[in-house]
Amino acid sequence: MNYEIVIGLETHVELSTESKIFCSCGGHSAAQSPNDCVCPACSGMPGMLPVMNKRVVELAVTAGLMLNCNINRYTTFDKKNYYYPDLPCAYQITQLNHPICTDGCITLKTSAGSRDIRIKQIHMEEDAGKLVHGGNSSYVDFNRTSVPLIEIVTQPDFRSAEEVVTYLNKLKSMFRSGGISECEEGAMRCDVNISVRPEGSSEFGVRTEIKNMSSFEAIERAIRYESQRHIDALEFELEELVQETRRFDDVSGKTFAMRNKETEADYRYFPDANLMPIIIDDEWLEQIKANKPTEVDEKAEQYREAGISDKEVDMLISNHKIGKLLDDTVALGCNAKDTATWILTDCAGILRKDGKTLADLAVTAETLATVIKMVDGGKINRNAGKKVLIAVIEDGVDPEAYCKENKLDRQVDQAAIAGVIDTVLAENARAVEDYKNGKVKAAQALFGACMRELKGAGDPAMIKELLEKKLQEL
Ligand code: ADP
Ligand code: MG
Ligand code: ZN
């Protein structure tokens, strides 16, 4: 029998805010050592009260808009109670009854064609701390406690591991380019729900949930293993499938049962009376919409329309920092396609020589635009522009000062060209004589001789201009 794989995802994404969700501690990425981003509120001291971080709401709404969700104007927090040492309050503040976004949709392009994945909801919640095990002891680090997360829950609409990875990559690009999350390793974590059913069946099979995975490669392997385990269980009746939570072991490539699936009642959810309901009025929503960054698809389309190649578009979309550098440079008046070449070919090449990548690029849009404009404006030629760029990247020089000091600018070019023209005219007395006698074509031969002499180093328009001037003066 053929089986269809059914997958639904719950993805936790750490938000790029300057402070935690309910206190003013810096995010844990600012931490130097364990427990140095911690205050009485986020370490669960009795009597401390949470204060909502407005930015979290704005980023959650922005994510909801990107995923075509309904934005719920009335949204509330609930306490999810469980005891574990990394959770100092013994409850997690999350959203159960009135999540901030519901009923969205995202379109994926996969080898099977275009696929729509429905988003059930997005809710806001706080992260838990971390346990660190060493020697005979376990330590608890609260730096991550109360770091803001959004959890994006899909409907069980995925049918393959490939679709899941395509979805996760798309979320990652969107969230990076939208400033919602940098989605670094560990900042995007998935619970993968899997079941299988005979092809053509309209009922869902028993599902298992693989918890807390952050590597896309591991997710893919886990889905392959777990779906095959389900199929084998049904085909050969080797084991009975039960709804449970499992973990994936990276070394063996297998999944193992952790616990029976807990139900909502196990957590004794109840509304958090310490936090007021949040009302998102029209004015606030409009403001968030106006600040919403261009969406990835739209952005990619803009790049393509500017003549940037598909491969380059992929690089720009998947690397937020580089995409932003391009956008900012273009905003300063440079051509998009040219700028893409300067960044993705020239800068990348210069960095590669030192064993670095574009992630190490520290050039500002202003500096890059200065170099590009010096070339476009004919102040220096492209080769000289490349030399300037090398000095900018390697030594952080000021491009204009560097040009002057190293005599790369047009005046110097002009002097060098004028010298070559004089030589060529002296060596080609015959052609010069012809020109004087009215043979205009002789100028073409002299131009060719100058070009050969300069070995392509000079700007042809400038050579032509200077040569014509000289001939006129004869
Ligand atoms: P719970 O409240 O038990 O967590 P949800 O309805 O919120 O259950 O679903 C959690 C996730 O499991 C969702 O992403 C959903 O799409 C997925 N899911 C639900 N049923 C199935 C199934 N039969 N097979 C695969 N995934 C499923
Ligand atoms: Mg759930
Ligand atoms: Zn704090």
Tell me, yes or no, whether 434 lies in a domain. Answer: yes
Rounded Cα distance between 141 and 128, Å, is: 10
210 vs 46, 150, 219, 389, CA distance in Å? 34, 19, 9, 49
Asked if 430 and 303 sit in the same domain, the reply is no
CATH of the domain at 434: 1.10.10.410
Q: Are 39 and 24 in contact (CB under 8 A)?
A: yes
> Of 220, 254, 279, which residue is a domain's last?
279
| Separation of CA 426 and ligand 2 centre (Å) | 86
Q: What end-to-end distance do the CA atoms of the chain give, in Å?
A: 93
Asked if 398 and 462 sit in the same domain, the reply is no
Asked if 250 and 144 sit in the same domain, the reply is yes
Q: Are 7 and 192 in contact (CB under 8 A)?
A: yes
Ligand lying closest to the C-alpha of residue 152:
1
- If one residue of 102, 160, 193 were mutated to test the ligand 1 pocket, choosing by the most ligand atoms within 8 A of its CB, it would be 193
Asked if 133 and 177 sit in the same domain, the reply is yes
Asked if 10 and 68 sit in the same domain, the reply is yes
> Of 380, 405, 430, which residue is a domain's last?
405
Tell me, yes or no, whether 287 lies in a domain. Answer: no
Query: DSSP string covering 400-428, please?
Result: HHHHHHTT-SHHHHHHHHHHHHHHHHHHT
Asked if 400 and 434 sit in the same domain, the reply is no
| Separation of CA 207 and ligand 2 centre (Å) | 12
pLDDT at 457: 66
pLDDT at 330: 95
Asked if 138 and 240 sit in the same domain, the reply is yes
In degrees, rounded to 5, the angle at the alpha carbon of residue 204 between the alpha carbons of residues 200 and 210 is 125
Helix (H, G, I), strand (E, B) or coil at 141: strand
Query: Does the beta carbon of 34 lie inside 6 Å of ligand 1?
Result: no
Q: Are 52 and 21 in contact (CB under 8 A)?
A: yes
Rounded Cα distance between 392 and 395, Å, is: 6
| Separation of CA 307 and ligand 1 centre (Å) | 43
Tell me, yes or no, whether 231 lies in a domain. Answer: yes
Q: Are 296 and 174 in contact (CB under 8 A)?
A: yes
Query: Does the beta carbon of 195 lie inside 6 Å of ligand 1?
Result: yes
Nearest atom within ligand 1 for CA of residue 205 = 23
Rounded Cα distance between 242 and 310, Å, is: 45
Residues, Cβ < 5 Å to ion ligand 3: 23, 25, 39, 41-42
| Separation of CA 414 and ligand 1 centre (Å) | 72
Rounded Cα distance between 153 and 247, Å, is: 19
| Separation of CA 322 and ligand 2 centre (Å) | 36
Asked if 13 and 123 sit in the same domain, the reply is yes
Q: Are strands 244-249 and 208-213 parallel, antiparallel or unpaired?
A: parallel
> Of 347, 371, 405, which residue is a domain's last?
405
Asked if 390 and 455 sit in the same domain, the reply is no
Tell me, yes or no, whether 288 lies in a domain. Answer: no
Query: Does the beta carbon of 8 lie inside 6 Å of ligand 1?
Result: yes
Tell me, yes or no, whether 285 lies in a domain. Answer: no
Tell me, yes or no, whether 432 lies in a domain. Answer: yes
Nearest atom within ligand 1 for CA of residue 206 = 23
Domain count, the chain: 3
Asked if 421 and 397 sit in the same domain, the reply is no
Asked if 122 and 248 sit in the same domain, the reply is yes
Q: Are strands 270-271 and 101-110 parallel, antiparallel or unpaired?
A: unpaired
Ligand lying closest to the C-alpha of residue 262:
1
Q: Is the dihedral of CA 359, 298, 107, 113 positive or negative?
A: negative
Query: Does the beta carbon of 154 lie inside 6 Å of ligand 1?
Result: yes
In this structure, which residue's CA is closest to atom 19 in ligand 1? 156
- If one residue of 159, 192, 207 were mutated to test the ligand 1 pocket, choosing by the most ligand atoms within 8 A of its CB, it would be 207
In degrees, rounded to 5, the angle at the alpha carbon of residue 46 between the alpha carbons of residues 31 and 78 is 80
Ligand lying closest to the C-alpha of residue 9:
1
Domain encompassing residue 455: 414-473
Ligand lying closest to the C-alpha of residue 227:
1
Asked if 89 and 134 sit in the same domain, the reply is yes
Query: Does the beta carbon of 121 lie inside 6 Å of ligand 1?
Result: no
In this structure, which residue's CA is closest to atom 6 in ligand 1? 155
Ligand lying closest to the C-alpha of residue 19:
3
Tell me, yes or no, whether 389 lies in a domain. Answer: yes
Tell me, yes or no, whether 289 lies in a domain. Answer: no
Query: Does the beta carbon of 266 lie inside 6 Å of ligand 1?
Result: no
Rounded mean pLDDT for each run of 10 residues along the chain, 474 residues in total: 96 95 86 92 94 97 95 97 95 97 92 90 97 93 96 97 94 88 90 96 95 94 97 89 94 90 84 96 95 79 89 84 92 94 95 91 95 88 90 93 80 76 90 87 88 76 85 83
CA dihedral defined by 358, 215, 59, 361, rounded to 10 degrees?
A: -10
pLDDT at 410: 62
| Separation of CA 184 and ligand 3 centre (Å) | 22
Query: Does the beta carbon of 10 lie inside 6 Å of ligand 1?
Result: yes
Nearest atom within ligand 1 for CA of residue 193 = 26
Q: Which two tokens stand for residue 262?
A: 């807990």
In our burial notation (b when 16+ CB lie closer than 10 A, e otherwise), range 53-69 reads beebbbbbbbbbbbbeb
| Separation of CA 10 and ligand 1 centre (Å) | 8
Query: Does the beta carbon of 207 lie inside 6 Å of ligand 1?
Result: yes
In our burial notation (b when 16+ CB lie closer than 10 A, e otherwise), range 228-260 reads ebbbebbeeeeeeeeeebbbbeeeeeebeeeee
